[in-house]
Structure 1
Amino acid sequence: MADCEDQKFSLMEVLDTFKLCVSEQKEVYLQNYVEGWRGLVKFLNSLGSVFGFISKDVVNKIQILVNYLNGENGSQYITIQSMVKYELDNELVDMTKRGRQPESGSRTLLRLHRALRWLELFLERLRTSTEDSKTSVLCSEAYNESLAKHHPWVVRKAAGMAFCVLPGRPAFFEVMNVGPPDQVVAVLGEAVPLISEVYTITEELYTQHNLLDLP
């Protein structure tokens, strides 16, 4: 597969990927989750270097999950649910961060899960914004409601500075590559609920297994 950083972002592609993410039994397919994130990385990168501090980390996390999917136990990683069960049953999740195990799939996905909440909130704010809305404010609000509480002060400070130089709403709508503003709003209206469903299913799974605060 071509490097996701070298391709243009397409909101429709992300929509299509997240449509395939959830099974009828409400399980989340890890491969589709990863593909959805590849698309979201393109979105981050299309806005310049301001999101570099997040997108670089996301790319690293994606690769860890891909390695598990392609590894000798890949059949245990078909869904997020099967991954969590397999890793917990085999004590592969480092609950205390003593460094005894490599980065587990469960911990890696938790980091992406937190970032997905930020993007979900940000995209929803973009969808409901007006022409004179400040993207820096929209993004900061979404960040403060999600990722900020998991970041040290120095990262929060850097994020705040990055958000201040974000392009305006028209630039965000342009990189969606779906047409005029009303079309962007319509597609976001489809995409955000799908992202939200994936987030909610994962949140409930991690809550059930007490994994939301993995170090």
Structure 2
Amino acid sequence: MANSVEEKFSLREVLDTFSLCLSENKEVYVQHYVEGWRGLVRFMNSLGSVFSFISKDAVNKIEILVNFLNGENGAHYVTIQSMVKYELDNELVDLTRRDKHPESGCRTLLRLHRALRWLELFLERLRTSSEDSKTSVMCSEAYNESLAQHHAWIIRKAAGTAFWALPGRQTFFDVMNVGTPEQVVAMLGNALPLISEVYNITENLYAQHDLLQLP
């Protein structure tokens, strides 16, 4: 029983984790970024298998980044900024092909970064939606504005089908374990700017180094 409680999603915990992500000079700590993602994976898993095509990939990417953090060069992976500098300086990023360093930290984190944008857009729609809004429509719109452009046609089609099986808005709010719908909306209002800031800092860093389209 303890394990199931431990795995329970808490929006408040994710908020706390993302609030720790940024250093004083706005560098993003990989450890807290990964922890925030672990919480988001719990959120997706709480809703059944509908998001498994994203959550399973996220778990794999989290594991790769944790291995870098715990590895012999872990000091270079403390922040996203130090990771990008280290990997580019040492030619550890495949800028044109994926066979030499397919699991570089830069490429791995980019996949999480793209998925974070989808979740941010979806959660923002949930926050501003009305009681009778369709979660399937909100989720599809968020997906089409973000992750879809990076997925093959067959994945896009499977995702579109899966989203139609999403539960209603109230089920999402219940899963967040915050309280009343009003309390969920208020907490999302606090959480999303933090997630957005982490996303935007990462986006600008990757854009600066031409890493947004890593193969």
Could you tell me which residue of structure 2 aligns to residue 205 of structure 1?
205
Could you tell me which residue of structure 2 aligns to residue 94 of structure 1?
94
Could you tell me which residue of structure 2 aligns to residue 85 of structure 1?
85
Shift of 1:7: 0.5
Sequence identity (%): 78
Q: How many residues matched?
A: 214
Shift of 1:5: 10
Could you tell me which residue of structure 1 aligns to residue 157 of structure 2?
157
CA distance in 1, matches of 2:26, 2:3: 30
In the superposition, the TM-score normalised over structure 2's length comes to 0.97
**Contact 1:4–1:42, Cα closer than 8 Å, also in 2:** no
How big is each residue's C-alpha offset from its partner over 1:85-117, in whole Å with a ceiling of 9 and x where there is no partner?
000000000112251224100000000000000
How big is each residue's C-alpha offset from its partner over 1:121-143, in whole Å with a ceiling of 9 and x where there is no partner?
00000000100000000000000
Could you tell me which residue of structure 2 aligns to residue 148 of structure 1?
148
Could you tell me which residue of structure 2 aligns to residue 129 of structure 1?
129
CA distance in 2, matches of 1:127, 1:200: 20
- 2:174 alignment partner AA: E
- 2:52 alignment partner AA: G
CA distance in 2, matches of 1:174, 1:86: 42
Could you tell me which residue of structure 2 aligns to residue 37 of structure 1?
37
- 1:132 alignment partner AA: D
**Contact 1:14–1:39, Cα closer than 8 Å, also in 2:** yes
Could you tell me which residue of structure 1 aligns to residue 56 of structure 2?
56
In the superposition, the TM-score normalised over structure 1's length comes to 0.97
CA distance in 2, matches of 1:152, 1:63: 24
Could you tell me which residue of structure 1 aligns to residue 171 of structure 2?
171
Paired residues for 1:103-122 under 5 Å: 103-122=103-122
Closer, same or farther: CA 3–72 of 1 in aligned 2, 3 Å = farther
- 2:122 alignment partner AA: F
RMSD over aligned CA atoms reads: 1.5
Runs of 4+ in 1 over 3 A off after TM superposition: 2-6
- 1:83 alignment partner AA: M
- 1:10 alignment partner AA: S
Could you tell me which residue of structure 1 aligns to residue 12 of structure 2?
12
Which sections of structure 2, spanning at least 5 residues, go unmatched?
none
SS at match of 2:99: coil
**Contact 1:5–1:41, Cα closer than 8 Å, also in 2:** no
CA distance in 1, matches of 2:92, 2:154: 31
Which sections of structure 1, spanning at least 5 residues, go unmatched?
none
CA distance in 2, matches of 1:69, 1:43: 24
